[in-house]
Structure 1
Amino acid sequence: MTLQSDHADAAEPADTAARAAVADAAKTADGAERAGGDHAADVGRVADAAGVADLADPVAALCVAGRVRGVVQGADPDAVWALGGPGGVHGATAVDGSALDVGGLVPVLALWPVIGSLVAENELRLHTPLAAYGVEAEAGITTHHLLSHSTGPVAHAALTRLAEHLTGSPLAELAATRIWHPLGMTGTRFADGTLRAPLADLGRFLIHLVSPVDHHPVSRAWITESLRIRTGELTPARGLLWHPSRHGTWSYGEAPAVWVSPRLRRWAILLPTHPPGPLRQTFRDAAFAPTPSP
């Protein structure tokens, strides 16, 4: 389904306030515009990305941002969104910097990167049963099973228990010290029973994921291993927590939702004000589909 506003006639400049809010996010990318480094593996059945505009081109960035803005304004004008690449944000809603409710993204913003840090430190092996670490779980269940074959609160709770058991610290503290603080996500925290983060912090996190440079705190190896099919012939296809999607993207969440594509060097986030319905797909298409050459 295509929304009428999916075909914006003209690309508007990205909102000044939003760009200022996330401009310094590029500093955490540690030279991410440099060539080289491993790119995340993609899947053959995902649409070929040939012809997709590089958002490093200002004209292309404005075109894509205008297209996304038109889609969102036509379906959910109060939704919060942003898109960009390794160098920063290329389009976003104007926000005041206040922390947003992103409780639906706890698994991808906190749990997944913390698990990755434990794997990088050889404190955790994906295919070792949880019971071997002293964590109560069904016989034979591994971290790999929970990240690739399971979903929902039960799997996330098991992984949280595992991370907290191995470290002796609560997940909130682990995420803050291992992930958020090193990335400069100083406004991200658990409060009032949910995870809250300003749009600028979300940008910092996603910039890090699409950067080709391998640097702390989420390793390039963990990102690459996570963004490839880990379910074999089973359906639905999944990576480690992430789901393959169209246009060479990997996604997590429904409302809110995030998309990353290290191969395209692009990321996007959508926080709708109501169940997104077709907006989720049209937003993704506007942000990642090939842009016709002028």
Structure 2
Amino acid sequence: MTLQSDHPDAADATDAAGRARAARGAEGACGPDAAERAEVAEAVEPAGGAGTDRSERTGLGHVADVADVVGRVRGVLESADPDAVWAVGGADGLHAGSADDGAPLEAGGLNPVLAVWPVIGSLVAEEALRLHTPLTAYGTEAPAGTTAHHLLSHSTGPEAHAALTRLAEHLTGSPLAQLAATRIWHPLGMTGTRFADGTLYAPLADLVRFLSHLLSPADHPVTRAWITESLRIRTGELTPARGLLWHPAPHGTWSYGEAPTVWLSPRRHRWAILLPTHPPGSLRQTFRNSVFAPTPYP
């Protein structure tokens, strides 16, 4: 069975599987295919060896690795979108990025990952919500059998996010903006992040704090268990593969959004964000590859 998705990274993550099917067509391969799923897994989480970036294979310094990434990113953006806002970092914070004047940035496209997803995770952590319990059991309207797990892993688009928002607000009696601020943003020091006229705004420094936390060992306010459960395949044999809200992508990354987009790579201990000034098209993939693809070495 195939799920519909317009997320570019969802297509990229299953592209290797498609090539595998074509290559085996003449051999008459049939039935559940472990090799195909292995290729998808390789696209999501590359094995060691030649596919591992320099700092992992040789132990060369972090500074040299970051310099390589920054050089590649700047080369890509100079011609494609020189005014784009971007940043790359790890659990320890910002490593490099575009100039930052501290102004709030329109980040409405990241509302689900900055507000809805972590708030739902907080409700799961305190056992106020179980992912596989039908939403109707909580007194909210939903098609029969629909669960929070379905909405996070099998659905995309504003309808699913609105349903999750209604669920969180129903369970707590508070609006999403308040829930996100008190449960997630303020504990992380994201004091500039807010909703205004229904649109989410956040300064780059706040986005750095959020993404750095997701790779850190800290267990509050977004728990390690929730992050780990979200960054693994939750769709079984269905394609495209998905986690909980997050989409697997090549080079061991998980992503959310299209314009803007955030990426996480627990394997490479790296995150990235791109806020383009115009529809990014192929820039998303080129930027992602510049940040996460291993540099070839002899």
TM-score band, normalised by shorter chain = 0.7 to 0.9
SS of structure 2 residue aligned to 1:207: helix
| Residue equivalent to 2:53 | 52
Q: Deviations over 1:47-102 (max 9, x none)?
A: 52632144971111111111111111120011100001111111100021100000
SS of structure 2 residue aligned to 1:140: coil
Q: Deviations over 1:114-172 (max 9, x none)?
A: 00000000000000000000001000000000000001111111100100000000000
Note closer, same or farther for the CA distance 1:48–1:131 as it changes in structure 2 (3 Å cut).
same
Q: Which has the higher helix share?
A: 2
Could you list the structure 1 runs, at least 4 aligned residues long, displaced by more than 6 angstroms after superposition. none
| Residue equivalent to 2:7 | none
Pairs within 5 Å for 1:196-215: 196-211=201-216, 213-215=217-219
| Residue equivalent to 1:273 | 277
Q: 1:176 aligns with which of 181, 184, 188?
A: 181
User: Is residue 43–residue 252 contact of structure 2 (8 Å, CA) maintained in 1?
Assistant: no
SS of structure 2 residue aligned to 1:43: helix
| Residue equivalent to 2:11 | none
Deviation at 1:273, TM superposition (A): 0.5
Confirm whether residue 127 of structure 1 aligns to residue 143 of structure 2. Answer: no
SS of structure 1 residue aligned to 2:44: coil
Tell me which amino acid in the other structure corresponds to 1:52.
D
Tell me which amino acid in the other structure corresponds to 2:225.
A
How well do the aligned residues superpose, as a CA RMSD in angstroms?
Answer: 1.5
Q: Which moved more, 1:81-90 or 1:250-259?
A: 81-90
Tell me which amino acid in the other structure corresponds to 2:288.
R
| Residue equivalent to 1:9 | none
User: Is residue 43–residue 251 contact of structure 2 (8 Å, CA) maintained in 1?
Assistant: no
Confirm whether residue 224 of structure 1 aligns to residue 222 of structure 2. Answer: no
Greater Rg, structure 1 or structure 2?
2
Q: Please give the TM-score of this superposition, normalised by the length of structure 2.
A: 0.82
| Residue equivalent to 1:29 | none
CA separation in 2, counterparts of 1:54 and 1:171? 40
How high is the sequence identity, in percent, across the aligned residues?
74
CA separation in 2, counterparts of 1:46 and 1:201? 27
Confirm whether residue 283 of structure 1 aligns to residue 284 of structure 2. Answer: no
CA separation in 2, counterparts of 1:94 and 1:282? 20
Q: 1:64 aligns with which of 53, 65, 69?
A: 69
User: Is residue 254–residue 265 contact of structure 2 (8 Å, CA) maintained in 1?
Assistant: yes
Note closer, same or farther for the CA distance 1:68–1:147 as it changes in structure 2 (3 Å cut).
same
SS of structure 1 residue aligned to 2:296: coil
Pairs within 5 Å for 1:13-162: 43-46=41-44, 48=46, 50=48, 51-54=52-55, 57-162=62-167
Tell me which amino acid in the other structure corresponds to 2:53.
V
Note closer, same or farther for the CA distance 1:111–1:53 as it changes in structure 2 (3 Å cut).
farther
Deviation at 1:262, TM superposition (A): 1.4
Query: How many equivalent residue pairs?
Result: 252
SS of structure 2 residue aligned to 1:258: strand
Confirm whether residue 186 of structure 1 aligns to residue 191 of structure 2. Answer: yes
CA separation in 1, counterparts of 2:204 and 2:47? 27
CA separation in 1, counterparts of 2:187 and 2:235? 32
Deviation at 1:292, TM superposition (A): 3.4
User: Is residue 264–residue 270 contact of structure 2 (8 Å, CA) maintained in 1?
Assistant: yes
| Residue equivalent to 1:233 | 237
Tell me which amino acid in the other structure corresponds to 1:286.
S
Confirm whether residue 263 of structure 1 aligns to residue 267 of structure 2. Answer: yes
Q: Deviations over 1:194-217 (max 9, x none)?
A: 000000000000001111x14200
User: Is residue 62–residue 90 contact of structure 1 (8 Å, CA) maintained in 2?
Assistant: no
| Residue equivalent to 1:6 | none
Q: Please give the TM-score of this superposition, normalised by the length of structure 1.
A: 0.83
Q: Please, which runs of 5 or more residues in structure 2 have no aligned partner? A: 1-39
Q: Which moved more, 1:53-62 or 1:104-113?
A: 53-62
Tell me which amino acid in the other structure corresponds to 2:129.
L
